[in-house]
Amino acid sequence: MPNNALRAAVPAVSTRRCASVARRILLLAALLFAGGFAQGQQPAVSPFDYGLREAQSDTARYTALLRAHNAAISAGVDVDYTGIDSIYIEVPQGAPTIPLTRHNDFKGCTFFVLNREKDNVLFGMTQPTPRIALDKALVDQGDFGGMEALNKGWMLLILYDRHPWVAQRIGYGYPFERRDVLLLHDGKAVNSVVASYNTDSTALEAYFCKVDTIRKTIENITIVRDKRCTYKSYCFNIIGQDNVLLRNISITTPKSRLTADGAIIAQNATRIALEDVTIDGTYSAPQKYGYGVSMNNVWGASFTRLKADGKWGVFGTNNMSGTLLRECDVNRFDIHCYGRDARFIGCTFRGKQTQFSSMYGTVVFDSCLFADCIPVRIRASYNAYTPFDIVMRNCSFDATRRHHALVNVMLLDTALNARPELAEKCWPNLRVENLTVNILSGPRRLDLYEPTGTLSECSKPVAYISKVQVDTLAMLRKGKPAEATLHVFSHPVATKGIVEQAVDNISGVAKVEFGIPKEQ
């Protein structure tokens, strides 16, 4: 349907006019009564005051929103979307990002977005991060009290290691650099880095910015990307921020040839929270990437009741630590490379996997469902197998012909990584407590570890793994004991040390195969 026909069929701006006028009158009255104007305060900015109602095209409406948000930023106030039910906008030529204020309540407005100009970010909450000279010996200590630029108030300290963590990602041809972000209060770090920076192989480059800890909000908005889009509009981009909540947000993306999506992006930030967010589709394909959530260098990211799906996978993240997912329903979670500590509570994973590389600390799954997916995959393309532990507690696994292993360790590249920190190939320890395995199809077996490398690669001794423990496991087929085989390792592997293997309180298991001698 041509754009002008669409405009004739649907109002370009759907409003609640009477309610809008009444609410604005009440707001003005309240401010006057409270003496707000006398104290120099200003009311929130309305897009109606910047030409939204008079706009004659979708691009003009985009410009009206941009003007309103810029005016609000200049005045130090927020934008009031009262009275706007829905709005059609088109990205104009050379359009900048619409800046977000501290509190962004879109009042349930639905944005229909058309982009035929260039890839752009629709809404952004960003700030510059100037460079600062920093002694890398201070980083591990987390005490920057002797630095005047960092020892007052709340700061973000953003760390880049310019000596590649991975010289070349296998199959992709580009290097990977690790990053960390520290939240400072009066010069003292609240969190810590994933791995030490006080090493000969680290080439530190540091940046900083001032933040406040008052929660910023982005909420009550629906974004529908038009099927006629020929370029991508990334919905939200958050850079250099602390304590931002995205709540009650819905993003819908139609079938498209576009790929390489990042519907919600966060970089160099701390304590970013998503609550009650729905992502229905992404610009991606089964063999071409695109993400609903794209994050790089975020500490303390949390996701509550995120429901999301995409052809490639929902999450694409790097350099993440202290991540929490609670009551989410997604097809994939991953930390591509470099992370520490992740916790999943009451989540459902469908059809794909959670995957990690260069992970440290502990990955905990508590009361989760794995539905025809790989519960944990250690990806090979970064050749970065670092020590961490996996805990699965009170979980259920719907095993199928293609997915019947808890931990899949992908191709073990036998070449040594140039970074000394990654020289050893480490496998994670595993603790399973009260797991129910429903064998839906395929072989009656469960593999705790499933290496997918060649026999030659699996003959190279791996490090760190020292304990595999199962306490209470039931294997069922159509609700009855499956009488299946439990394989600790799907086929023999070599380890540098003795691996303690304990399997207790199991049912529906006819036989346990350990894969490596218990005394190796």
Give pLDDT tens digits for 472-520: 999 998 888 888 999 999 988 889 999 999 999 999 998 999 876 444 4
* Residue reference for tokens 């701390």: 270
The per-residue pLDDT for 481 is 87
Closest among 179, 240, 237 to 208, alpha carbons compared = 240
Report the predicted TM-score, pTM, of the whole model to 2 decimal places: 0.92
Distance between CA 131 and CA 144 in Å, rounded? 15
* Residue reference for tokens 């992740």: 342
The per-residue pLDDT for 182 is 98
* Residue reference for tokens 């987390």: 142
Q: Which helix (H) or strand (E) holds 340?
A: strand 339-345
Which of 4-18, 251-265, 314-328, 400-414 bottoms out in mean pLDDT, i.e. has the lowest?
4-18
The per-residue pLDDT for 16 is 53
Distance between CA 26 and CA 426 in Å, rounded? 64
Q: Which amino acid is at 490?
A: S
Distance between CA 24 and CA 172 in Å, rounded? 55
Beta bridge partners of 143: 188
Closest among 442, 445, 440 to 490, alpha carbons compared = 445
Q: Is 393 exposed, middle or buried (CB count within 10 Å of its CB: 0-12, 13-18, 19+)?
A: middle
Q: 3-state class of 216 per DSSP?
A: strand
Residue 16: both structure tokens together: 């609640």
Contact 210, 184 (CB under 8 A): no
**Residues contacting residue 97 through CB under 8 Å, at least 6 positions apart:** 120, 121, 122, 123, 124, 237
**CA atoms in the 13 A half-sphere facing the CB of 427:** 29
Distance between CA 94 and CA 66 in Å, rounded? 13
The per-residue pLDDT for 31 is 38
- Dihedral Cα 28, 33, 35, 36, nearest 10 deg: -30
Residue 463: both structure tokens together: 């490090």
Distance between CA 102 and CA 245 in Å, rounded? 11
Residue 504: both structure tokens together: 């207790």
- Work out the pLDDT band at 452, boundaries 50, 70, 90: confident
pLDDT digits (tens, 9 = 90+) for 112-169: 999 999 999 999 999 999 999 999 999 999 999 999 999 999 999 999 999 999 999 9
Distance between CA 372 and CA 403 in Å, rounded? 6
What average pLDDT does the chain have? 91
Contact 181, 297 (CB under 8 A): yes
The pLDDT of residue 25 is above 60: no
* Residue reference for tokens 């947000």: 249
Beta bridge partners of 272: 244
Q: Which residue has the higher pLDDT, 514 or 192?
A: 192
Sign of CA dihedral 438, 442, 448, 449: negative
Distance between CA 272 and CA 301 in Å, rounded? 5
Which of 23-32, 232-241, 296-305, 431-440 bottoms out in mean pLDDT, i.e. has the lowest?
23-32
Contact 181, 269 (CB under 8 A): yes
The per-residue pLDDT for 10 is 46
Contact 145, 187 (CB under 8 A): yes
The pLDDT of residue 38 is above 50: no
> Please, what's the largest Cα pairwise distance for the chain?
81
Q: Which amino acid is at 393?
A: R
Distance between CA 10 and CA 114 in Å, rounded? 15
Distance between CA 281 and CA 293 in Å, rounded? 11
The pLDDT of residue 33 is above 60: no
Mean pLDDT of 67-96: 97
